[in-house]
Structure 1
């Protein structure tokens, strides 16, 4: 199996007073498609979602390890969504990217929402994967949440293997061995400070009051059997975002991007390639907003 990082240009970028390990795929390639800015899940390094970038060779991708995650150095001081979205925008400018399609999974889905609200002119379309509106959410299975919050899942391979099905649900329950080994093999443990600061970043945060003002076309993707982020959270996002569509993956758990890879990529492509909706006036107003 090919290494999904083979096509990535990995660099350490100084952005907004922080050093971020950044991976860019195909940004210098001529394309009819905008690049994708991807926000990862909590504690997850670039490699965890690299297969998605590799599976969409017609598009550029850019993502980075959060401070204290992967190979990005530890954060010196805590940060919040506003600071990290500003930092991400500075990173885009460094690469000469004025507008992108924004995507995020789980914790990163919340960050993607914040980025689209904070930087609407730089966001064309928004894809939210297995995520919530933040503090105002319907919690998942307590057994899965306690395992999710335990940093041992990153540093103790036996712990992760033992609780993999409880954590992620869906097809990992019945066909999890291959997915388990490939996913665990791509993870690099975050530092204790990096993990705590990521947890602190979203404490008290919610996008819910702002979502009715979100003018971006949005695809919400949820797993039917997600033990960490129940599908009802996707329905809440769909109800609150005016131009949203919801796609639920049957027998999908929190890792449906991995277990339903072909189906997920097809849904993302269909959404990103669809013609612009609304009148010309509405599109112009959205661009100005």
Structure 2
């Protein structure tokens, strides 16, 4: 993992904006953070084992240029779970559209990580007029393309109690690049507080029922893909590079030495890449 700079440390040690709550037209509640005076809004979509707090460094480092909104997806934090036990990706995209309606936002940029990149693609495909551009960080393809037996086995492993009981220190070697900084491991460990069994089960069913390559054909917005060169969760050759080939006009940037949590492992570079791309769209 790259050595953290002084700027990286300042970003990772910054305070989080307070949580707010939006009442949706469906009657559900979505929890989110909102900061920055900018007229242009950027929605930050977290991964499956994370929350809005995972974007701490972006909420601190990009709020001078943009209005930043980081949601807790349905079933995470205090956000109401979706109404059915096995939702598909389009149900999450519809919830995101409801959040934009509740906040009177017409068009937004999307910045998404891992599992959240599936929601971003589904949203951009279904609501193209509302999507200005996307940044997809460490995208996962999903697992719908796997044989049914393998898919069932992998999903059972994900949801097993012993998998959920692992400590951050036990999970870090798979998720982070080599020799992670203790501050990054600590911030990663704090994200588990917003992950609840019911929401995790719904999100896992969505992940295993989705294929990003099938979503890509409907997406026609400017897209930047960010990949970790040492990502063992979603190796770039199997995920990011294939997605770049499937998405219309997408570009790919690889962070050498980083794993699956780019926004924590190299936050300043991550922010510069996001800002440099979005300001042109």
Range 222-231 or range 250-259, more displaced: 250-259
Query: Aligned pair in 2 of structure 1 residues 210, 199: CA closer, same or farther (>3 Å)?
Result: closer
Structure 2 match to 1:196: 201
Determine the structure 1 residue equivalent to 2:263. 257
TM-superposed CA distance for 1:48, in Å, is 1.8
| Number of the residue aligned with 1:100 | 108
Deviates more, 1:53-62 or 1:8-17: 8-17
> Given that residues 136 and 208 in structure 1 are in contact (C-alpha distance below 8 angstroms), is that contact kept between their aligned partners in structure 2?
no
Q: Distance in 1 between matches of 2:212 and 2:98?
A: 22
- In 2 relative to 1, CA 76–131 (structure 1 residues): closer, same or farther, beyond 3 Å? same
What's the counterpart of residue 42 of structure 2?
Answer: 36
* 1:12 equivalent in structure 2: 21
Q: Unpaired segments of 5 or more residues in structure 1?
A: 139-144, 277-289
Deviations 1:56-106 (A, max 9, x none): 021111122123312224444233221221121121121111100012100
TM-score (norm 2): 0.83
Partner of 1:22: 32
Determine the C-alpha separation between the residues in 1 that align with 2:277 and 2:38. Answer: 21
State the structure with bigger RCO (CA 8 A, min sep 6), 1 or 2: 2
What TM-score, normalized by structure 1, do the two folds share?
Answer: 0.80
Which of 79, 84, 87 matches 1:77? 84
> For the residues of structure 2 that align with 1:45 and 1:30, how far apart are their CA atoms?
23
**CA distance change for structure 1 residues 65 and 153 in 2, over 3 Å: closer, same or farther?**
farther
Cα separation, 2, equivalents of 1:177 and 1:124? 36
Partners of 2:82 and 2:45 lie apart in 1 by 17
SS of match in other structure, 1:254: coil
SS at match of 1:115: helix
Q: How does 1:117-196 map to 2 (within 5 A)?
A: 117-135=125-143, 159-165=167-173, 167-170=174-177, 173-196=178-201
My pick for the range that moved more, 147-156 or 197-206, is: 147-156
The residue number in structure 2 matching 1:90 is 98
Once the 2 structures are TM-superposed, how far is the Cα of residue 178 of structure 1 from its aligned partner?
Answer: 2.1
Structure 1 ranges of 4+ moved more than 3 A = 1-4, 73-76, 145-156
- The aligned counterpart of 2:151 is none
The answer to whether the Cα contact below 8 Å between 2:57 and 2:263 also exists between their aligned partners in 1 is no
Structure 2: unaligned runs, 5 residues or longer: 1-9, 147-154
1:227-277 deviations in whole A, cap 9, x for unaligned?
A: 100011111111111211000000110012111111111111111123x5x
Inter-CA distance 240–73: structure 2 relative to 1 (3 Å threshold) = closer
Instruction: Name the SS of the counterpart of 2:120 in structure 1.
Output: helix
**Counterpart secondary structure, 2:214:** coil
Distance 2:75 2:29 in 1: 10
Deviation at 1:115, TM superposition (A): 0.8
Of 254, 272, 281, 1:266 maps to 272
Deviation per CA, 1:181-207, whole angstroms, max 9, x where unpaired? Answer: 122134315221111111112332223
Residues 150 and 267 of structure 1, relative CA distance in 2, 3 Å threshold? farther
How far off is 1:14 after superposition? Answer: 2.0
Contact 1:9 1:25 in 2 (8 A): no
Q: What is the aligned-residue RMSD (CA, Å)?
A: 2.5
Deviations 1:1-37 (A, max 9, x none): 65431xx3522222123222122122xx244xx2111
Figure out how many residues of one structure are paired with residues of the other and give that number. Answer: 259
